[in-house]
Chain A
Amino acid sequence: MAWVRLSEAEKVYIAHGVQEDLRQDGRSCEDYRCIEVETDVVSNTSGSARVKLGHTDILVGIKAEMGTPKLERPHEGCVEFFVDCSANAAPEFEGRGGEELGTEIANTLYRMFNNESSLDLKALCISQAEHCWILYVDVLLLECGGNLFDAISIGVKAALFNTRIPKVRILEDEEGSKEIELSDDPYDCIRLNVENVPCIITLSKIGHRHVVDATLQEEACTLASLLVSVTSKGLLTGMKKVGKGSLDPESIFEMIETGKRVGKAVHVSLQEILNKEESLGKQRQKVGFLG
């Protein structure tokens, strides 16, 4: 990952600030940086979103392709995650350097989406055991400024909200042979229910307290952090400890509680923004990549 190197004095300064609930940029321990979200930024995708969180810059594109359902789940479509760490984000990512981080993030996303309620995969099935929609979620890391997991999960949720899958019908003739018919109207689409799509909240332990949305400098002071994935209803769909440190049991319970509270708030404001953007419709001025 794009690391920064800090001297001991800088680390002590950050840790003391966190102790006093006042961080370098003036935030308190449970404050996020300003998040910018824009959907429908790439025209060649079924759904896309771009998220800027401080200096972290994420582009998510979703392509829906037709495929065959998995053998053990014939009634469901599937979602595939792929995270690409561009060398623009950090020179270490050049060549295959970003692969390790990319698979780590993709595996975490699989883990957090691996439950019944996150996404209604049954809605992606076209005909049982024969055809289904496969959603390829491609995450592109354009810039690293700390807190990748949260930014990526927000981007994935926004892109899933934006995703439109063309409506298809199955026609069956007398001999029983089936044919897939695509609707003539390009605006005739199905949309996904993203109500239960989780967001990941990373809680980084600094000193005796934990902070959300750590910057790169703060991440350098963190020995262990806890990823908690929270749905808008406050259900937890996954948890994972990352980093080379260990955690006190009591602080884990506190972190779960904070994660749930902060996660719910993030979901509320994200949904509000997405709805607002949607209501603007075609008149919305696209910011794109120059904003």
Chain B
Amino acid sequence: MPGDSRRIRGPEESRCPLLYALPESPQAPEQARTEPRPLYARAGLLSQAKGSAYIETGGGGGGTKVLSGASGPREAERRDGPGLRGARLVCEFRWAPFARLGPRCGVGTALERELSLALQESLEPAVRLERYPRAQIHVWVLVLEDRGSAFASALSAASLALADAGIEMYDVVVGCALSRGPGGCLLLDPSDRDEGRPKSGGCLTLALMPALNQVCGLLCNGEWTEESLSQAVRLCMEGCHRLYPVLQQCLVRATKRKISVPQSGPA
């Protein structure tokens, strides 16, 4: 039954139910985790996009699922600004409305816009934009299910989609996230439970080009001391290096699949 959107049918006053939930039972002292969760990546799965990638991390009991697509290079719409000499990279990062725990999240929130910009600034160093003058390249990322470290997976997925689309790049961008637990221990690749803890010390997401050893994106909030932050950056870089071979293999597999298609045609 289509409702009248102007009429609010809920109670006038409402409270968040989570406030009445029992406080989490004190868990065993947390262990620092220095290994990222298992990751599955597949490139070239969408037929309509020029390049695409799907990444799933976490596994058992629902993990983070991220889908990304890339299109272009095509003629730029806006011809002003500094984009004349090289291509303009347009990035869009979105959560599906049902991606997260709790109430359905709105579309086009400030966080999505901030992360879209961060995604663009993290991918720009890796793409050879000067090879595509007066062009624009679109990348979009949709988070289907967010069980922690969604932006880190989005970074990897977006760069896989770009590579799969045949865009010239210097290196694949690998994203890795880290959160600091209540005791100050560092958890690599946190789940949404680790991320959402109220007393959690902070979160950091890092994007790395492993072959060139260049950090192309960094985003962090929370409270850190200088030592813990430096250690967190190092741990994240190690995590990126661990994930790199997985993404490389995924690209090799996707390319092999592409090459084998014409051979099986009219021979």
Contacts and interface: CB of A to CB of B under 8 A. Distances in A.
A241 B215 contact: yes
A236 B224 contact: yes
A199 to B, nearest CB: 15
Given A107-B110, A226-B218, A237 B121 contact: no
B101 interface: no
Interface in A251-282: 252-253, 256-257, 260
Interface residues of B, number: 41
B19 interface: yes
B18 A72 contact: yes
A74 B220 contact: no
Interface stretch (B52-60, B145-153, B229-237): B229-237
Contacts of A247: 214-216, 218
Nearest to B208: A249
B13 to A, nearest CB: 9
A239 B224 CA distance: 10
B221 interface: yes
A117 B222 CA distance: 9
A169 to B, nearest CB: 23
A226 B229 CA distance: 14
Contact of A115 (B122, B204, B216, B222): B222
Nearest to B120: A244
A234 B122 CA distance: 27
A103 B116 CA distance: 12
A116 B218 contact: no
Contacts of A234: 225-226
A234 B223 CA distance: 10
Contacts of B213: 248-249
A243 B216 CA distance: 9
A245 interface: yes
Contacts of A249: 213-215, 233-234, 237
Interface in B53-99: 82
A243 B110 CA distance: 19
A103 B237 CA distance: 29
A10 to B, nearest CB: 16
Q: Is the interface of B mostly helix, strand, loop or mixed?
A: mixed
Interface in A48-91: 71-72, 74
Given A74-B15, A74-B19, A256-B230, A103 B216 contact: no
B233 A240 contact: no
Q: Is the interface of A mostly helix, strand, loop or mixed?
A: mixed
A117 B209 CA distance: 34
A239 B204 CA distance: 9
Given A71-B14, A72-B18, A107-B110, A246 B117 contact: no
A237 B223 contact: yes
B233 A112 contact: no
A115 B221 contact: yes
B219 interface: yes
A252 B225 contact: no
A108 B110 CA distance: 11
Contacts of B114: 103-104, 107-108, 111
Contact of A253 (B212, B222, B224, B230): B230
A242 B122 CA distance: 9
B46 to A, nearest CB: 27
B175 interface: no
A241 B217 contact: yes
A110 B230 CA distance: 23
Given A237-B222, A241-B121, 5 more contacts: A114-B221, A234-B225, A235-B223, A241-B218, A252-B233
22 contacts: A3-B82, A71-B15, A72-B19, A74-B15, A103-B110, A103-B114, A115-B202, A115-B222, A116-B223, A129-B15, A234-B226, A236-B226, A237-B224, A241-B218, A241-B219, A246-B125, A247-B215, A248-B213, A249-B214, A249-B237, A257-B226, A260-B226
